[in-house]
Amino acid sequence: MTTKRIFKAKRVANSDVSGWLDDHAVVVEDGVITAVEPSANVASGGDSHEVHDLGDVSLLPGLVDAHSHMHCSATHDAQTLAMTENDQQLTIRATSNMRKAVLAGTTTIRDLGSRNEVAFAVRQMIEDGHVPGPRLLLAGTPITITAGHCWFFGTEADTETQVRTAIRTQVKLGANVIKVMATGGMFTPTANPRTPQYSVEVLKAAVEEAHRMNVPIVTHTLSAQGVRNVVEAGVDQLIHARWYHSDPNQGLDYTPDTVKQMVDQGQWVDPTIGHHLLGIEAKARGEIGPMDPHWAVSYKVVPEAEHVDTLNKMHDAGVRFTTGLDMGMTYGTHDRSAANAWALVETLGWANWKAINASTAGTAEALGLTKQIGSLQTGMFADMAAFSGDPAQNIRDMDRASTVVQSGRILKLNDTVLV
């Protein structure tokens, strides 16, 4: 029997997520959108279908987040917990985090680094309907060098052969994407964020291997030489794309030619500035910071404005940005993917609709899911998030959805959680 549900709202995002349709209704049958039309055209409830009039809300496609760590705690001691908790503890934490994420309105997440034993099991249980959670694209464990960035997630690979084997293993386990740690990172005391972890030759082999198995490859990249290496190797997307100079006594080392090549190759960047924004606000409230300054970056503190300047230059040059919060890192709670859009507006100066589009249709495109999610059109999965207020006027109105629908199933209705 067909299940038909109709969701009416004062404001419904138009098909290209660039403006509102006033007083419209989204018609959903068996989890798929079958029509978007003026509310006046649809009949009121009856035996054959349910009608939910959400009232004065803004109905958007469910948010899409390109960067999570499902089992990380987002607390000041996230690093210690990630290194010491066992798989059972991490699985429960991940289950809770994914529930929070979807109930906040993020209906699709790409997880870019969690233990294999946790990530694939949690996705299976969500897909089987045992626990609520977003659609998940998974990298499983990131691939890193011995003692490298996030080594404690479980996959260390140093040589070209080991990297190829690691990629094959991840795909065999069910990975939809490969994550390689191209430089060290702040989260790992033994990894140097300013220097590359892999040579261009090894990165090229990784790209070849991932593409041979028909999965995209994205790289954590915090330093200028790391960025240059992954651009030359032709990876699909860059995460962070920061430009730290390899000399800890110097600041940034931005190279416009590399960015031009990035644009020519269509490489997306996840600027992770939503996470930065949440960190700055948490520190302003007096909360404990994530950790002491990293030994490899602390010689010269680079002001946030300099990073913002390089991000603006990249964007102006034509690089497209995904919305990835780096969920699970300190301050990056799994229910705050909307902070990506806040930061695009408040930090980078984007128009509200451009930021809303990036958080939905844009990132869906980056994830290769344009035909399934990211907009409210006939034929798409009925993944929706309603927000009170109007994010086109005030971007912070987009925060923790009041109603969440996933594949037509109502998870939360007018602030009442149903799952």
Residues that bind Zn ion (CB under 5 A): 326
Nearer residue to Zn ion within complex by CB, 74 or 392 = 74
How many whole angstroms separate alpha carbon 203 and alpha carbon 49?
53
Do 104 and 398 contact (CB within 8 A), yes or no? no
Q: 353: helix, coil or strand?
A: helix
Supply the minimum distance, in Å, between the C-beta of residue 375 and Zn ion: 26
DSSP 285: T
Nearer residue to Zn ion within complex by CB, 42 or 282 = 282
Q: Name the nearest CA neighbour of 228 among 245, 207, 248, 251.
A: 245
Nearer residue to Zn ion within complex by CB, 235 or 384 = 235
Supply the minimum distance, in Å, between the C-beta of residue 161 and Zn ion: 26
DSSP 419: -
Supply the minimum distance, in Å, between the C-beta of residue 141 and Zn ion: 12
Supply the minimum distance, in Å, between the C-beta of residue 272 and Zn ion: 7
Supply the minimum distance, in Å, between the C-beta of residue 185 and Zn ion: 8
Nearer residue to Zn ion within complex by CB, 326 or 399 = 326
Nearer residue to Zn ion within complex by CB, 13 or 70 = 70
Supply the minimum distance, in Å, between the C-beta of residue 179 and Zn ion: 8
- Which residues, in sequence order, are CB contacts of 339 under 8 Å at separation 6+? 274, 275, 277, 278, 325
Do 418 and 412 contact (CB within 8 A), yes or no? yes
How many whole angstroms separate alpha carbon 15 and alpha carbon 156?
44
Nearer residue to Zn ion within complex by CB, 135 or 240 = 240
Do 36 and 12 contact (CB within 8 A), yes or no? yes
Residues in the chain: 419
Supply the minimum distance, in Å, between the C-beta of residue 187 and Zn ion: 8
How many whole angstroms separate alpha carbon 385 and alpha carbon 398?
10
Tokens for 307, please give them: 């990073």
Supply the minimum distance, in Å, between the C-beta of residue 331 and Zn ion: 13
Nearest residue to Zn ion, scored by beta-carbon proximity: 326
How many whole angstroms separate alpha carbon 169 and alpha carbon 154?
12
Q: 194: helix, coil or strand?
A: coil
Tokens for 263, please give them: 């644009």
Nearer residue to Zn ion within complex by CB, 67 or 123 = 67
Nearer residue to Zn ion within complex by CB, 193 or 408 = 193
Supply the minimum distance, in Å, between the C-beta of residue 112 and Zn ion: 5
Nearer residue to Zn ion within complex by CB, 209 or 326 = 326
**Partners of 270 in the β-ladder:** 239
Supply the minimum distance, in Å, between the C-beta of residue 45 and Zn ion: 45
Nearer residue to Zn ion within complex by CB, 117 or 326 = 326
Q: 240: helix, coil or strand?
A: strand
Q: Look up residue 269 and give its amino acid.
A: V
Q: How far is the CA of 310 from the CAs of 241, 242, 264, 277, in angstroms? A: 9, 8, 18, 16
Tokens for 184, please give them: 């060290």
Q: Name the nearest CA neighbour of 375 among 89, 38, 19, 128.
A: 19
